[in-house]
């Protein structure tokens, strides 16, 4: 809470306490004077007493207004406190309340679980990489073994082919030799044919041995590989190469999967770190907001406690004042049947406290007048004392009492018939204004005029008028445009016959809303006795402002006053309606169009709203 309003509130309570002390002192003096006489009197009192009564009444009104303002402020603070408490509760619900720690622990467990999963994924990736490395090494070894076997087999096959070629060549040579031998045996000596035959036999035996060796080696290869023949051996070699290629593809897939697992583990670690940072930031923000709200709540609760203490103090002062008033009420003899019929027999309450104070003031004036009359009746020597009692306070240092005036105070007893008729005649003929209409509500200006007339009737010394209120000086009324005191300013039927009035509202798509303006125009026409009254809607409905102005021009009007049926001076009043009126006037150059002020703020509007509130309360209950 700001320091300035708090200082003003403290000053207000200090002044209120001082005023209550002054009232208590005045009540003590009145008690001493009341004990002297307990009879009713209608003798005149002094102007100083009347002025003091008026001042006390004004002070009591001011105190009541300030007490009401303080109560309104206290209610406002209670509403703000309730709103802050609701906001704190909402913040607590948003933070999780008592389960916030459990939620935080669960979040931390989730983060740790994600970390363990990431570590497990990393370990799996490493194991997969190790297995892939082992598979690759095994595949390399198998490929090397297969290549070595293939090379050995190729060498064996090549060696076998070479052996077969050599055997075939030897066989061909043997055949050639045999052929030559046969030919030689036919044409040469027999002794020369024996030697080639023995040489060919030896060559054939060597070739057969070599073939047997190659066959044995090939059989060993077939036995080692498990193949049945050369074709099966070749198919086995091709199948081994296919297996090697598949192993290489599997190793590549395992490497790719390991890389993907590593990337996923890195992303997961990043997400875990980001989630941890976000959770820490959110916790810090929530703690800061909670601390701020708790501080504001504590300050508001302290302020509310202070206001409650002040309210209790004011209520206690009012209670003491009410108790003192009840005691003085009985001792002063104000508890009469007429007063009970007016104020009731329940005693003073907070609502009727000012009325009881007013009756007590009247009774005090009567007792004072009775005491003065008794002093005067005691003898000629008491005249000076009576004049001193009736005279107003004199200027300091003058040594003389002011001139006494005659004031007729109100009374709590029924006046005699003669006094009643005299009072009626005074009220009817003193100011020439006739009887006041008590049913009509009064604003400040009307109340000021009535007080001036009342003072002029009762006191010749009141010829000098009281100072006018600030908002009524220089003929001004400030923001208020009141017509409560003077009625409606009508000009009659014969005046301004060429004047037309156009009532303009916003306009609505609902027909019922537009008909309300028609009903108001009819009421305005009957009340003011004006003949040229048209209606127009600014937008959304017909007739428009241009149509209404055209109808006024066709009816013979020379001047058109566009009266907005609006409450405040908004954009429609300052911009839209003047622009539409200017556009309509451009079509009728000889016609003068002006825009009136909106309804504005008026005391009659306060009475109307209060009546609506009073009418709503029974239905709401």
Say yes or no to pLDDT of 247 above 80: yes
pLDDT, average across residues 413-435: 42
- Which distant-in-sequence residues (6+ apart) come within 8 Å of 545 by Cβ? 502, 504, 536, 538, 562, 577, 580, 581, 584
**Level-2 CATH architecture, domain 499-620:** 3-Layer(aba) Sandwich (3.40)
Helix (H, G, I), strand (E, B) or coil at 557: coil
Other beta carbons within 10 Å of 104: 13
Other beta carbons within 10 Å of 329: 19
Rg of the chain on CA atoms, in Å: 61
- Residue 257 in contact with residue 128, Cβ under 8 Å? yes
Say yes or no to pLDDT of 536 above 90: yes
Q: What does the block give as tokens for 336?
A: 């009469």
pLDDT, average across residues 393-406: 41
Torsion angle in degrees (nearest 10) through CA of 550, 555, 556, 558: -50
Facing residues of 480 across strands? 601
Adjacency order of strands within the sheet including 533-537: 533-537, 499-505, 559-564, 592-595
pLDDT at 436: 41
Burial of 490 (0-12, 13-18, 19+ CB in 10 A): exposed
pLDDT > 90 in the chain, percent: 11
Say yes or no to pLDDT of 429 above 60: no
Higher pLDDT, 65 or 450: 65
pTM, whole model, 2 decimals? Answer: 0.27
pLDDT at 468: 42
pLDDT at 507: 92
Residue 151: band (very low, low, confident or very high) from pLDDT cuts 50, 70, 90: confident
pLDDT in tens, 435-478: 344 444 555 566 667 666 665 655 444 444 444 444 334 443 33
Residue 529, CA atoms < 13 Å, CB-side half-sphere: 10
Q: Cα separation of 454 and 462, whole Å?
A: 9
Residue 399: band (very low, low, confident or very high) from pLDDT cuts 50, 70, 90: very low
pLDDT > 70 in the chain, percent: 71
Say yes or no to pLDDT of 547 above 70: yes
Helices 47-95, 230-331: inter-axial angle, 10-degree rounding:
160
Q: What is the mean pLDDT of the chain?
A: 75
Q: What is the DSSP string of 369-398?
A: HHHHHHHHHT-GGGHHHHHHHHSPPPPTTT
Say yes or no to pLDDT of 373 above 90: no
Residue 606: band (very low, low, confident or very high) from pLDDT cuts 50, 70, 90: confident
Helix (H) or strand (E) holding 447: helix 444-458
Q: Cα 553 to the chain's mean position, in Å?
A: 51
Helices (H), ranges, 559-602: 571, 577-586
Say yes or no to pLDDT of 411 above 60: no
Residue 41: band (very low, low, confident or very high) from pLDDT cuts 50, 70, 90: very low
* In the chain, where the domains are located: 102-277, 499-620
Facing residues of 593 across strands? 560
pLDDT in tens, 557-591: 999 999 999 988 888 998 999 999 999 999 998 89
pLDDT in tens, 250-288: 888 888 888 888 888 888 888 888 888 888 888 888 888
- Residue 236 in contact with residue 245, Cβ under 8 Å? no
- Which distant-in-sequence residues (6+ apart) come within 8 Å of 394 by Cβ? 400, 401, 402
pLDDT at 503: 96
Which range is least confidently modeled, 116-120, 405-409, 617-621?
A: 405-409
Exposure letters 183-220 (e unless 16+ CB within 10 A, then b): eeeeeeeeeeeeebeeebeeeeeebeebeeebeeebee
Say yes or no to pLDDT of 96 above 80: no
- Residue 562 in contact with residue 581, Cβ under 8 Å? yes
pLDDT at 577: 93
Q: What angle do CA 464, 466, 469 make, to 5 degrees?
A: 150
Which among 20-34, 94-108, 319-333, 506-520 has the top mean pLDDT?
Answer: 506-520
Q: What does the block give as tokens for 247?
A: 């192993």
Residue 232: band (very low, low, confident or very high) from pLDDT cuts 50, 70, 90: confident
> Where in the sequence numbering do the catalytic residues fall?
506
pLDDT, average across residues 197-221: 70
pLDDT at 410: 44
- Give the phi and the psi of residue 571 in degrees, each rounded to 5: -70, -35
Higher pLDDT, 188 or 150: 150
Higher pLDDT, 358 or 579: 579
Say yes or no to pLDDT of 405 above 60: no
Residue 580, CA atoms < 13 Å, CB-side half-sphere: 25
Q: Cα separation of 538 and 197, whole Å?
A: 144
pLDDT, average across residues 331-336: 82
Q: What is the DSSP string of 65-111?
A: HHHHHHHHHHHHHHHHHHHHHHHHHHHHHHHTGGGHHHHHHHHHHHH
pLDDT at 4: 60
Q: Cα separation of 238 and 477, whole Å?
A: 116
């Amino acid at each position: 809470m700001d320091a300035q309003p708090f200082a003003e509130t403290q000053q207000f309570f200090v002044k209120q306490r001082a005023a209550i002390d002054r009232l208590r002192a005045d009540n003590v003096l009145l008690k001493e004077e009341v004990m002297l006489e307990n009879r009713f009197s209608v003798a005149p009192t002094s102007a100083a007493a009347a002025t003091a009564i008026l001042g006390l009444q004004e002070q009591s009104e001011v105190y009541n207004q300030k007490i009401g303002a303080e109560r309104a402020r206290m209610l406002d603070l209670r509403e703000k406190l309730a709103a802050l408490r609701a906001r704190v509760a909402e913040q607590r619900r948003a933070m999780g309340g008592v389960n916030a720690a459990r939620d935080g622990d669960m979040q931390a467990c989730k983060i740790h679980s994600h970390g363990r999963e990431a570590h497990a994924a990393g370990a799996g990736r490493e194991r997969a990489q190790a297995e892939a490395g082992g598979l690759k090494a095994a595949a390399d070894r198998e490929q090397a073994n297969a290549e070595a076997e293939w090379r050995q087999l190729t060498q064996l096959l090549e060696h076998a082919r070479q052996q077969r070629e050599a055997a075939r060549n030897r066989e061909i040579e043997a055949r050639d030799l045999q052929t030559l031998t046969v030919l030689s045996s036919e044409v040469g000596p027999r002794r020369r044919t024996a030697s080639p035959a023995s040489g060919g036999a030896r060559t054939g035996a060597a070739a057969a041995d070599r073939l047997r060796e190659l066959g044995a080696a090939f059989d060993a290869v077939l036995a080692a590989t498990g193949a049945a023949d050369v074709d099966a051996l070749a198919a086995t070699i091709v199948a081994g190469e296919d297996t090697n290629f598949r192993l290489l593809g599997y190793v590549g897939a395992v490497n790719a999967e390991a890389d993907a697992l590593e990337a996923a583990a890195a992303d997961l670690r990043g997400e875990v770190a980001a989630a941890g940072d976000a959770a820490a930031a959110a916790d810090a923000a929530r703690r800061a907001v909670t601390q701020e709200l708790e501080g504001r709540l504590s300050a508001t609760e302290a302020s509310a406690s202070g206001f409650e203490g002040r309210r209790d103090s004011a209520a206690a002062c009012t209670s003491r004042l009410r108790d003192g008033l009840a005691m003085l009420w009985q001792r002063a003899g104000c508890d009469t049947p007429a007063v009970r019929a007016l104020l009731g027999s329940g005693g003073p309450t907070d609502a009727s406290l000012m009325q009881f104070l007013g009756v007590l003031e009247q009774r005090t004036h009567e007792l004072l007048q009775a005491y003065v009359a008794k002093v005067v009746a005691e003898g000629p020597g008491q005249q000076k004392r009576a004049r001193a009692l009736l005279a107003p306070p004199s200027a300091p240092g003058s040594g003389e009492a002011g001139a006494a005036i005659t004031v007729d105070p109100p009374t709590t007893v029924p006046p005699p018939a003669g006094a009643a008729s005299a009072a009626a005649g005074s009220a009817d003929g003193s100011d020439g204004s006739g009887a006041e209409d008590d049913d009509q509500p009064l604003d400040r200006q009307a109340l000021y005029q009535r007080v001036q007339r009342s003072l002029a009737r009762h006191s010749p010394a009141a010829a000098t008028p009281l100072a006018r209120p600030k908002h009524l000086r220089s003929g001004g009324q400030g923001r208020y445009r009141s017509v409560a005191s003077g009625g409606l300013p009508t000009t009659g039927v014969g005046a301004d016959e060429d004047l037309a009035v156009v009532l303009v509202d916003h306009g609505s798509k609902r027909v019922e809303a537009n008909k309300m303006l028609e009903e108001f125009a009819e009421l305005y026409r009957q009340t003011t006795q004006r003949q040229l009254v048209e209606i127009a809607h600014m937008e959304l409905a017909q007739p428009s402002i241009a149509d209404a102005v055209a109808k006024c021009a066709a009816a013979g009007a020379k001047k058109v006053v566009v009266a907005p049926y609006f409450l405040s001076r908004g954009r429609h009043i300052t911009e839209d309606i003047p622009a539409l009126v200017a556009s309509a006037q451009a079509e009728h150059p000889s016609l003068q169009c002006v825009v009136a002020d909106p309804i504005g703020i008026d005391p009659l509007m306060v009475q109307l709203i209060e009546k609506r509130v009073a009418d709503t309360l029974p239905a709401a209950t």
